[in-house]
């Protein structure tokens, strides 16, 4: 991929570990359905979300500031695994796609508080869903099926030159949890 640094590790967690983590995250996280402001109208986000991390970190979302909920046991365990691999995220945005109707539209994770070259550590649990990357200028695109227990790393210039989305999958009836660990600079 041009002007991108993307790495995919399909078995970051074993199936057994991933099963346990999936069940724990469903229970532990502060899931809620947020609101987004699009083209002059408020809508419910087509997925559930939760924002956890170091105390006092805030997350700016559609003009609202969300204060991070504390790390849970499972989030701490996952974060330690990422630290072993040389990363040091201080917050996580969790997304729960309840079924194939839930989705996330095209965007880049390029908010100023993520710094110049954001490192996004994206973990997937549950239903396998397609993830698309599209170059902002050339429109060249790539699709990756994000598997149960996988880790997708986006870093360097990726957010500057590329957008990504999680498209709808009408026939998917089970849920997927995604965790995007990030470092917020304040």
Give the interface with Fe ion as residue ranges (CB under 5 A): 109
Query: Which of residues 19 and 110 has its CB atom nearest to Fe ion in the complex?
Result: 110
**Contact between 178 and ligand AKG (CB under 6 A)?**
yes
Question: Whose CA is closest to 95, among 83, 85, 107?
Answer: 107
163: contact with ligand AKG by CB under 6 A: no
Q: On the CB side of 105, how many CA atoms lie within 13 Å of its CA?
A: 4
**Taking the complex as a whole, how short is the minimal distance between the CB of residue 59 and ligand AKG, in angstroms?**
11
In whole angstroms, the minimum distance from the beta carbon of 109 to Fe ion comes to 4
CB of 42 to ligand AKG, least distance (A): 20
For ligand AKG, the binding residue among 3, 17, 69, 109 (CB under 6 A) is 109
How is residue 145 written in tokens? Answer: 């099926």
* Backbone phi, psi, residue 82, to 5°: -70, -35
Question: Is position 166 an interface residue for ligand AKG (rule: CB under 6 A)?
Answer: yes
What is the 3-state secondary structure of 44-95?
Answer: ECCCEEEEEECCCCEEEECCEEEECECCCHHHHHHHHHHHHCCCCCCEEEEE
Instruction: Identify which of 9, 3, 40, 32 has the alpha carbon closest to the alpha carbon of residue 152.
Output: 9
Instruction: Return the residue of 50, 68, 78, 104 that touches ligand AKG, per CB under 6 A.
Output: 104
Q: Which positions lie near ligand AKG, rule CB under 6 A?
A: 93, 95, 104, 109, 122, 131, 146, 164, 166, 178, 180
């Amino acid at each position: 991929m041009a002007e991108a640094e993307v790495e995919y590790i399909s078995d970051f967690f074993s199936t057994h570990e991933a099963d346990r983590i999936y069940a724990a995250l469903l229970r532990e996280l502060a899931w809620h359905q947020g609101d987004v402001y699009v083209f002059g109208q408020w809508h419910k986000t087509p997925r559930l979300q939760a924002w956890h991390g170091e105390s006092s970190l805030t997350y700016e979302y559609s003009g609202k500031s969300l204060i991070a909920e504390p790390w849970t046991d499972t989030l701490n365990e996952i974060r330690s695994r990422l630290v072993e691999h040389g990363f040091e995220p201080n917050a996580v945005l969790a997304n729960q796609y309840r079924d194939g109707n839930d989705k996330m539209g095209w965007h880049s994770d390029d908010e100023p508080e993520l710094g110049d070259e954001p490192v996004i550590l994206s973990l997937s649990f549950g239903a396998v869903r397609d993830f698309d990357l599209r170059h902002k200028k050339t429109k060249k695109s790539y699709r990756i099926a994000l598997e149960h227990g996988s880790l997708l790393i986006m870093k360097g210039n990726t957010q500057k030159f590329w957008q990504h989305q999680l498209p709808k999958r009408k026939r998917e009836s089970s849920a997927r949890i995604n965790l995007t660990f990030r470092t917020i600079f304040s």
